[in-house]
Amino acid sequence: MDSGRAWTCALWLCVACTGTSGAVGIDPGMADPCTTSADCGSVAPICGADGLCAQCATDVDCDEGRCVGGECVECAGDTDCTGDDPYCIGRACVACRGTVDCDEEEPICAPDGDCLAPCPVDGCESDRVCHPELGACVDCASDGDCDAESPRCDPVSLECVECVAAADCGGAVCIDGDCVECVRDGDCPTGQTCSESLECD
């Protein structure tokens, strides 16, 4: 699992899972109710004070990062971010909030917080397109730039993905651009639980 997928899986119960790092906050309507942590599955193993299963209660419950609203996330504020990615946006550390944060070589701040170089005069590489609004080379600017295997263009990462919303998954759940079986035990058939790999076991 790459770092992007790991952090997005940390946002396992977002209000509207779009495959982006911008969606934060557990949707109480999707969290499993509990009396003790024994009632919770492996994805959200801790019974919170509100009677809902959560990924964490404090920072010590997270392998890395911070516990915010019951989720392990990369950052809670700019003070958690350092180096080339000094800003905390959508609970992730990024390089820029706007063009003022980028340098002359890469002056364009993309929706995902990366600084990008302008499209070269001789065009982008064959597998990339020049975004008509940003003026930078990206994987996609619209769904039409994507293939059948990854048919949707994520509006934040500007990468071709399997899904940007649950509606793209035919009843499954969309997490970080991938359709998965579950994010909570309630998504699984009776007697099964949602595993850390987001599969019903």
Q: pLDDT tens, 78-112?
A: 999 999 999 999 899 999 999 999 999 999 999 99
Predicted local distance difference test score (pLDDT) of residue 12: 34
8 A C-beta contact, residue 93 and residue 81: yes
Predicted local distance difference test score (pLDDT) of residue 4: 39
Predicted local distance difference test score (pLDDT) of residue 30: 61
Predicted local distance difference test score (pLDDT) of residue 5: 35
Predicted local distance difference test score (pLDDT) of residue 65: 94
Measured distance CA(46)–CA(189) in Å, rounded: 21
CA-closest candidate to residue 55, choices 91, 87, 89: 91
Predicted local distance difference test score (pLDDT) of residue 161: 97
Residue numbers of the chain with a pLDDT score lower than 70: 1-30
Predicted local distance difference test score (pLDDT) of residue 201: 87
Predicted local distance difference test score (pLDDT) of residue 20: 36
